Amino acid sequence: MNKLKGFWVAARPFALPMLLTDTLVGMALAGNSLWAWLVAFLITGSLLTATEYINNWRDYVSGYDKRRGGSRAKSYTSATMLLPKKLMTANDMKAGAAVLILFSLALMYFYVPWRLDTWLLYFLGLFFTLSYTDVWKRIGLGEVAVYLAPGFGAIAFAYATVAPLGIVGLTGAAILGMWGPFFYTLDQYSDVKEDIKHGAKKNFAYMVKMAKTSLSSYVWFSGLGIITFIIGAVVAGLLPKPMLATMFIVPPLRFGGIMMDSSYESGMKQIVIAKVLSSLLPAIALLWFGNAI
């Protein structure tokens, strides 16, 4: 495997379409600026990818990804295999993370409005990039980090690149950001027992597993809960009506959850589609119909 392909696999690129649509809906809630959306995506995508590189490095040296052979690969990512199989090195991951963080900082400096909200949100993302693996993941609070950084943080940041962060941006980011930990729990579900053997604290994915709750039930009730929050925010006048387009993800969400009970990885592919649509559909509706309350 050449280095370029190695860096691509190590980045876990399956997450980038989700971030692409999350920043799109954040931008669309504030207005219509494709340039601001591109900048927001490049900055948050750089920080997310740097997080993945740091995670690969730290999980390997800490023993979470087995020294020989690597952790079990998933159909949508084999990043955990790269360092154990000597296809990439820890220094590769460190260098990649450093370059991406500097790139994000340069974009922030030259292309994002200098306001308190934009810089606070940027440093929020940077903080979780540097601390996710060795702090939040280890103490069983990975869902909290995912909610605050690539969830709430990315959506709010995209909004702030267009307009000062207000009640609509905060509400949209707070609710839509919930899809991040929702997906994270499902992604961690297959690895949670192995992580706990190596010292990780019990997290929400472990609770779901030990409760013997079917994944279809978790997906259905958690997903409906988030959609209900969106409906409630629209009814309360906190979000514009085009946000109701999120309801159209119910069929793929339900289908993916049912599939997970019999085939975890096939179901996960459907959940990835539902996660992308959860932001893409309201973003299209906002851009088409406008974002007036």
> 204 near 143, Cβ under 8 Å?
yes
Please give the Cα distance from 204 to 207 (Å, whole number): 5
Domain ranges of the chain: 3-289
Give the whole-number percent of the chain exceeding pLDDT 90: 58
Please give the Cα distance from 181 to 212 (Å, whole number): 19
Please give the Cα distance from 183 to 185 (Å, whole number): 5
Of 17 and 214, the one with more pLDDT: 17
Query: What is the pLDDT, as a whole number, of residue 200?
Result: 53
CA 64, chain centre distance (Å):
21
> Mean pLDDT throughout 230-242?
96
pLDDT digits (tens, 9 = 90+) for 22-64: 999 999 999 999 999 999 999 999 999 999 999 988 888 876 6
Query: What is the pLDDT, as a whole number, of residue 82?
Result: 81
The torsion angles phi and psi of 77, rounded to 5 degrees, stand at: -165, 140
Query: What is the pLDDT, as a whole number, of residue 196?
Result: 47
pLDDT of 211 higher than 80: no
pLDDT digits (tens, 9 = 90+) for 244-256: 999 999 999 999 9
Other Cβ atoms less than 10 A from the Cβ of 283: the count is 24
Query: What is the pLDDT, as a whole number, of residue 141?
Result: 83
Fold of 3-289: Farnesyl Diphosphate Synthase (1.10.600)
Give the whole-number percent of the chain exceeding pLDDT 70: 86
Tokens of 104: 């994000």
C-alpha Rg value of the chain to the nearest Å: 19
pTM higher than the cut 0.75:
yes
> Mean pLDDT throughout 127-153?
90
The torsion angles phi and psi of 89, rounded to 5 degrees, stand at: -120, 165
pLDDT of 194 higher than 70: no
Task: Write the single-letter amino acid at 96.
Answer: G
pLDDT of 92 higher than 50: yes
Of 32-36, 152-156, 214-218, which range is least confident? 214-218
pLDDT of 11 higher than 60: yes
Residue 65 confidence class, pLDDT cut points 50, 70, 90: low
pLDDT of 206 higher than 70: no
Please give the Cα distance from 283 to 23 (Å, whole number): 9
pLDDT of 172 higher than 70: yes
Task: Give the DSSP H/E element, type plus range, for residue 25.
Answer: helix 16-30
pLDDT digits (tens, 9 = 90+) for 269-288: 888 899 999 999 999 999 99
What is the average pLDDT value for the chain, to the nearest integer?
87
> 28 near 291, Cβ under 8 Å?
yes
